[in-house]
Amino acid sequence: MIGKTSTTKRDLTRGDLLGRCEGATHFVRRALLGAFALRTGSNAEVVTAAELFGAGAGSSSKSDKIVANRDGDLNACMSSSLTASEPPNGCGALLRLELLPIAESPDIKTDKEEPGIGCPEGLVRRDGKCASPVASAPAPTCTNALDQFDTCISECDQRMSPSCDHLLHDHLVLSSDQQKKYAQILGTMCERGADEACVKLAQRYRDANGVAEDRARADALAMGACGNGNAEGCWLLMQLRKSDVESRKMSARACYAGSAQACGQLGSIYAMDNKGNEAGPFFERACDGGLDDYCLEGAKLFETGNNGTTRDAKRSAALYWGVCKGKSSQLGCHKVAEVAGADFARPLMETHCRARATADSVCYRLASFYDVGEYGFSQDRARAAELFETICMDKGDTMTCAKAADALVSARGDKGKPHAIELLRKGCKDPNTSKDWSCNRLKQMGENP
């Protein structure tokens, strides 16, 4: 394995999918790349990795009879460079795919930290790799590293992976003595192959936290983790090394390993150098990772053509869409339609709203487009009424309820008035506004609020 390539997306919902994706249940978050060779086990002769990879190269090869399958070139992989953002030709075989489930609705997404790498059924995580469980091993009792710090340290030292995971991922508030113990156990985990522990230890050597400051040691630890495809290791290595050229190489490696922050920073660097076309893809990856500020920065580049960027309305709108759905930004939603028009905006916004259990600002903006008929949207007050009503029933917002009632009466005439009055009565109860939109509309219709 010479590295990994990763999307910056940490979650995906059914509403994000375009095309015929009805049967999809997961998306590929990350792929580990390199080369591999498999042996059948029918030959007891011990062979080297080079002999395994050389099988089939000539009729005299002893490994011909024991290799079942292989992909990738060992020599090509050996030529890989730490600062390379792509694998060498011949060293891009898929070794492992990491999958994450597609959420049915944006309402059930969480902001929890990304889970660590799991193992296939029947195997457990031990010493940085998947292995068979040890039958005699006692069950770990550590469930919270903050409250059970010493227990978690002891169990992790005994190679109990769940306890190590708690030490890596739980929020910790440590005394100076505990900081030293924590640095020691991080060193133990790092030596066993846990790249995440290596990065945390490198940060401590940089900051003199629990250990004496040693930037050379921090650099070595970060470089090792980065070489294994750890995005945070590459990001830290970039911060430790100040050279512009080397910093950009480290940023690119961190970006392609899945660090959205590294992608965004690299995009900004290229934009400042008036290399907008090179900046664009990095802004797009940062935006995929949920960093809305970089969505906006990239969107403006593609919209205006500034900083050496080729104008591209659809790429600009796609980045504005990242802000629109991410922060439910009215500006972002408005710009999606303004920049690329209704044919681009409509399917994105409709898919988003139909996938949600509750409406949001994206749906409000979509309703407004239908209500007025702007940016290429054909006026459709019946659809506007549906969307406004969903928000009215969910939020009880007086202005939205009034808009829903107006659109309903416009679309259905007198037949829509009874239900419109119901919506206005709901909006009239809204205690969070100084403007009685719904109450005033009720009075105009001759009804008692």
> Which residue did the predictor score with more confidence, 227 or 353?
353
Q: 53 with 37: CB under 8 angstroms?
A: yes
Phi, psi values for residue 130, rounded to 5°: -85, 130
What local confidence, expressed as pLDDT, does residue 117 receive? 53
Any idea where the domains of the chain sit in the sequence? 143-257, 380-449
Question: What are the contacts of 364-367 at 24+ separation with CB within 8 A?
Answer: 364/330, 364/388, 364/391, 364/400, 365/324, 365/330, 365/333, 365/334, 366/333, 367/391, 367/403, 367/407
Distance CA 346, CA 368 (A): 12
pLDDT band, very low/low/confident/very high, at 12 (cuts 50, 70, 90): confident
For the chain, the average pLDDT equals 82
Range of lowest pLDDT (105-114, 143-152, 365-374): 105-114
Res 244: pLDDT:
67
Residue 18 CA from chain centroid, whole number: 18
pLDDT band at 433, cuts 50/70/90? low
H helix or E strand, kind and range, residue 130: strand 129-131
How far is Cα 371 from Cα 348, in angstroms, rounded to an integer? 18
Residue 418, pLDDT > 50, answer yes
Inform me whether the pLDDT recorded for 113 exceeds 50: no
Sign of the CA dihedral running 244, 246, 252, 257: negative
Higher pLDDT pick, 120 / 441:
441
- pLDDT tens digits, 335-348: 999 999 999 999 99
- The two beta strands, 129-131 and 124-126, are antiparallel
Q: Please report the pLDDT score of residue 39 as a whole number.
A: 61
For residue 411, is pLDDT > 80? yes
**According to the model, what pLDDT value does residue 1 have?**
66
Tokens of 375: 């940016």
Determine how many CB atoms are found less than 10 A away from the CB of residue 422.
16
d(CA 359, CA 384): 13
Pick one of 1.25.40.10, 3.40.50.10490, 3.40.50.920, 1.10.10.10 as the CATH number of 143-257. 1.25.40.10
Percent pLDDT > 90 in the chain is 44
Across the range 96-113, mean pLDDT stands at 64
Instruction: Centre a 10 Å sphere on the Cβ of residue 412 and count the other Cβ atoms it contains.
Output: 15
d(CA 440, CA 373): 25
110 band by pLDDT with thresholds 50, 70 and 90 = very low
Indicate the pLDDT class of residue 134, thresholds 50, 70 and 90: low
Out of 202-206, 249-253, 415-419, least confident range: 249-253
Nearest CA among 15, 12, 14 for reference residue 23: 14
List Cβ neighbours of 369 (8 Å cut-off, separation of 6 or more).
Answer: 337, 342, 345, 375, 377
Most confidently modeled of 16-25, 121-130, 173-182?
173-182
Task: Note the helical H segments in 41-148.
Answer: 49-53, 74-78
Pull the structure tokens for residue 437: 């939109």
For residue range 21-61, what is the model confidence (pLDDT) as tens digits? 778 888 787 777 777 666 655 555 555 556 555 554 444 44
d(CA 43, CA 47): 10
Residues 6+ apart with CB under 8 A from 155: 140, 141, 142, 163
- Please, is 100 exposed, middle or buried when counting C-beta atoms within 10 Å of its C-beta (0-12, 13-18, 19+)? middle
Q: What is the pLDDT of residue 89?
A: 79
- pLDDT attached to residue 347: 92
Cα–Cα distance for residue pair 449/438, rounded to 1 Å: 9
Q: What is the mean pLDDT of residues 93-112?
A: 66
